[in-house]
Amino acid sequence: MDKSEFTTRVLEAEKTLYHIAKSILHSDHDCADAVQEALLKAYTKLGSLRDEAYFKTWLCRILIHECYKIANARKRVVAYDEYMMGGNAAYENVNIGLYDAIMRLDPKRRMVVTLHYVEGFNISEVAKILRIPQGTVKSRLAKARSELKIFMQDEEKEEPCYEKHETITQRIPATT
């Protein structure tokens, strides 16, 4: 694969790379750093790519490693706002959308959801990218779907009903 073809394929995979990075890292700056590092590593190790048909899968795998490296380095640093707000302030008293619901998932489930539903990889491709069995991909997707359903139902219950100045939770009796 020459430099021109590498560039073309990277540009084709650009959105996918960003979505994968964003599912692991929350900061746009960290995502950009991870993608840049992954592209540099991929270009320097291009000779280790066995089959050009798997270029995108190979590149995604490199990116995932870079993202985890950055995420692990960031674990040691606590943002001032997070420290002052007492931890997970980002999700307190906030109506979440689908994106936020996905970001609330466990990182392993978030990754399979992003790869499968957002990026359109099939089950076997996700399994190859993450180097896990297909059954594990399927079970993580099933668990993620059930969690997302709960997250979205919780959001729906908390949505305000502006016409009557009451919340939906005030109109729905508790089931427990």
| Tens-place pLDDT, residues 31-60 | 999 999 999 999 999 888 888 888 999 999
Give the per-residue pLDDT at 164: 45
Whole-prediction pTM value? 0.59
Give the per-residue pLDDT at 158: 60
Is residue 11 domain-shared with residue 66, that is, in the same domain? yes
- Residue 72 belongs to a domain: yes
Of 67, 72, 71, 73, residue with least CA distance to 130: 67
**How many domains in the chain?**
2
161: containing domain: 94-176
Per the DSSP assignment, residues forming a β-bridge with 160 are 167
Query: Which pLDDT band holds residue 92 (cuts at 50, 70, 90)?
Result: very low
Is residue 4 domain-shared with residue 58, that is, in the same domain? yes
C-beta separation of 115 from 21 below 8 A: no
